[in-house]
């Protein structure tokens, strides 16, 4: 049987890995024939979708051959940027379904607003593509479970864009947490203070910009008039499309916290907050929030605030594992340990050995995208650092925090039934509600 290009990619790469050579370590013109190039399509190329593609282009055996966005100006702009670095042809699309029909594409990047992640990911897997999908995994608890099932069914590589999972200093910190050196950890704090975020001025509804397929942008979200505040970056602050800072930043920090603590689902969640910084601006999601997650043996505290940089331990974002022997404070720049002190025989001493502060090593997004490519080359979905089974844990916990806030109640989770106990209101907010003729994927 004649080998397909995809089989050739997998087989030739496996042989190289056996010789200790990683994909991308060599110069394309000397080693990588056109038939062995991994061909990528980008769906949603305005923000992180293109940042992920640029990261992948640090590997010489990867190229972009297709760009899709409902805003016609975006693919045109990105194609020009791409042509400054590479010379291969690039096709432009406005409908992701047409892009998925392209048999040459090996994998897609999904950089759309959150409310599109589930439908596009399932369709991409069904089309035989590997997927790199931005975080949070989905815009509802129900969609997270669907995406987990789809990844198992199609057995393709899926990487969620929670790139802290590929960070070396994060793994070092996780090893310390799990070693027991911190003693009994009773509290974990996770936070994001975003001083750069200013109020979003109220703007009237208007006609969509020329070249924007607004109906396609809305997709399964409720129909409403176009408003510039809801478009592109600021979609994050509206419930129809996303979950605010709780899901935008929260999934990064919550992911590491729960992974280190080796738990997945809380027993209960309660939250309080509101629009305290900018009560009259155009956003919907809270600019100030405190959430308490209860797990067996410890609690996790999430908090965020816009317009303020003065977060815990002098850091704008981070995770603190607070143990009886010491506290490990971790963020994107590195980590430090603050030992507890005690007096023994009249002498004050630390309860745990002092460990030098650790700093970030390299570009973790590049490590994350490389891990995605290597998993494809190995034809091993389990090799991905952040598959949907991981991405869903962080996203579901974050959505629970938002549900607790929006109901104003302490909610209790039944992990076997995947619903809240004796709470029809909260359980009703687990479901995804699709509109405009779009249907929730069935796996």
Report the percentage of the chain scoring pLDDT > 90. 88
Going from the C-alpha of 264 to that of each of 44, 127, 200, the distances in angstroms are: 30, 31, 35
| Sheet of 288-295, strand order | 358-359, 334-339, 326-331, 317-323, 185-194, 298-306, 288-295, 268-274, 411-414, 419-420
Q: How many whole angstroms separate alpha carbon 137 and alpha carbon 218?
A: 18
Both tokens of residue 155? Answer: 């057995």
Going from the C-alpha of 357 to that of each of 251, 315, 316, 337, 351, the distances in angstroms are: 25, 15, 18, 7, 17
> Domain map of the chain by residue range?
5-165+368-387, 169-360+392-428
Tell me the average pLDDT across 62-69.
98
DSSP structure class, residue 325:
S
Q: How many whole angstroms separate alpha carbon 372 and alpha carbon 400?
A: 28
Architecture of the domain whose range is 5-165+368-387? 3-Layer(aba) Sandwich (3.40)
Tell which phi-psi region holds residue 297, choosing left (phi > 0), alpha (psi between -120 and 50) or beta.
left
Q: How many whole angstroms separate alpha carbon 71 and alpha carbon 63?
A: 22
Q: 56: part of which helix (H) or strand (E)?
A: helix 48-56
Q: Tell me the three state secondary structure of residue 241.
A: coil
Q: Which of 74, 157, 154 is nearest to 108 (CA)?
A: 157
Both tokens of residue 343? Answer: 């007096």
DSSP structure class, residue 270:
E
Q: Does 3.40.50.300 match the CATH number of domain 169-360+392-428?
A: no
Tell me the average pLDDT across 258-272.
98
Tell me the average pLDDT across 331-347.
90
Structure confidence at residue 24 (pLDDT): 35
| Each residue's pLDDT tens digit, 107-146 | 999 999 999 999 999 999 999 999 999 999 999 999 999 9
Structure confidence at residue 366 (pLDDT): 98
State the pLDDT confidence band at 414, using cuts at 50, 70 and 90.
very high
Q: How many CA atoms lie within 13 A of 231 on its CB side?
A: 20
Q: What is the residue-averaged pLDDT of the chain?
A: 92
**pLDDT over 80 (residue 21):** no
Structure confidence at residue 430 (pLDDT): 98
Tell me the average pLDDT across 51-56.
98
Let me know: does 285 contact 238? Beta carbons within 8 Å. Answer: yes
Helices (H), 182-249: 214-218, 244-248
Q: 335: part of which helix (H) or strand (E)?
A: strand 334-339
State the pLDDT confidence band at 29, using cuts at 50, 70 and 90.
very low
| Sheet of 130-133, strand order | 91-93, 62-68, 38-43, 107-110, 130-133, 158-160
Q: What is the pTM of this model?
A: 0.91
Q: Which of 290, 294, 246, 296 is nearest to 269 (CA)?
A: 294
Tell me the average pLDDT across 39-48.
97
Helices (H), 186-298: 214-218, 244-248, 250-261
User: Count of CB atoms within 10 A of residue 59's CB?
Assistant: 20
| Each residue's pLDDT tens digit, 140-155 | 999 999 999 999 999 9
Tell me the average pLDDT across 271-293.
98
Going from the C-alpha of 30 to that of each of 20, 247, 367, 372, the distances in angstroms are: 18, 44, 24, 23
């Amino acid at each position: 049987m004649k080998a397909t290009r995809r089989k050739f990619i997998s087989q030739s790469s496996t042989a190289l890995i056996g010789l200790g050579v990683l994909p991308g370590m060599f110069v394309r013109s000397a080693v990588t024939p056109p038939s062995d190039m991994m061909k990528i399509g980008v769906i949603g190329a305005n923000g992180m979708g293109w940042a992920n593609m640029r990261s992948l282009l640090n590997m010489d055996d990867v190229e972009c051959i297709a760009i899709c966005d409902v805003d016609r100006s975006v693919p045109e702009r990105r194609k020009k940027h791409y042509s400054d670095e590479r010379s291969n042809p690039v096709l432009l699309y406005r409908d992701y379904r047409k892009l998925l029909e392209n048999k040459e594409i090996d994998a897609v990047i999904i950089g759309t607003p959150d409310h599109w992640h589930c439908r596009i990911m399932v369709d991409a897997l069904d089309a035989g593509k590997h997927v790199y999908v931005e975080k949070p995994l989905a815009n509802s608890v129900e969609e997270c479970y669907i995406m987990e099932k789809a990844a198992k069914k199609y057995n393709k590589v899926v990487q969620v864009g929670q790139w802290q999972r590929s960070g070396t200093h994060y793994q070092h910190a996780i090893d310390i947490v799990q070693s027991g050196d911190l003693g009994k950890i009773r509290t974990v704090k996770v936070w994001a203070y975003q001083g750069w975020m200013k109020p979003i001025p109220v703007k009237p509804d208007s006609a969509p910009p020329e070249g924007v397929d607004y109906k396609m942008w809305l997709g399964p979200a409720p129909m409403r008039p176009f408003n510039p505040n809801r478009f592109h970056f600021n979609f994050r602050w509206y419930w129809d499309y996303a979950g605010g800072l709780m899901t935008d930043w929260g999934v990064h920090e919550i992911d590491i916290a729960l992974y280190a603590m080796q738990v997945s689902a809380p027993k209960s969640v309660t939250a309080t907050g509101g629009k305290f910084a900018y009560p009259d601006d155009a956003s919907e999601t809270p600019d100030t929030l405190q959430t308490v997650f209860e797990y067996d043996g410890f609690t996790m505290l999430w908090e965020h605030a816009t317009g303020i940089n003065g977060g815990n331990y002098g850091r704008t974002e981070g995770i603190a594992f607070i143990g009886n022997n010491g506290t490990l404070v971790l963020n994107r720049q590195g980590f430090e340990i603050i030992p507890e002190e005690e007096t023994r025989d009249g002498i004050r001493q630390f309860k745990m050995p002092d460990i030098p502060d650790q700093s970030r090593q390299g570009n973790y997004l590049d490590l994350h995208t490389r891990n995605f490519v290597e998993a494809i080359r190995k034809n091993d979905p389990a090799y991905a650092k952040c598959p949907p089974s991981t991405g869903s844990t962080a996203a579901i916990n974050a959505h629970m925090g938002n549900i607790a806030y929006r109901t104003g109640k302490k909610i209790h989770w039944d992990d076997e039934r995947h619903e809240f106990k004796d709470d029809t209101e909260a359980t009703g907010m687990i479901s995804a509600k699709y509109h405009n003729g779009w249907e929730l994927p069935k796996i």
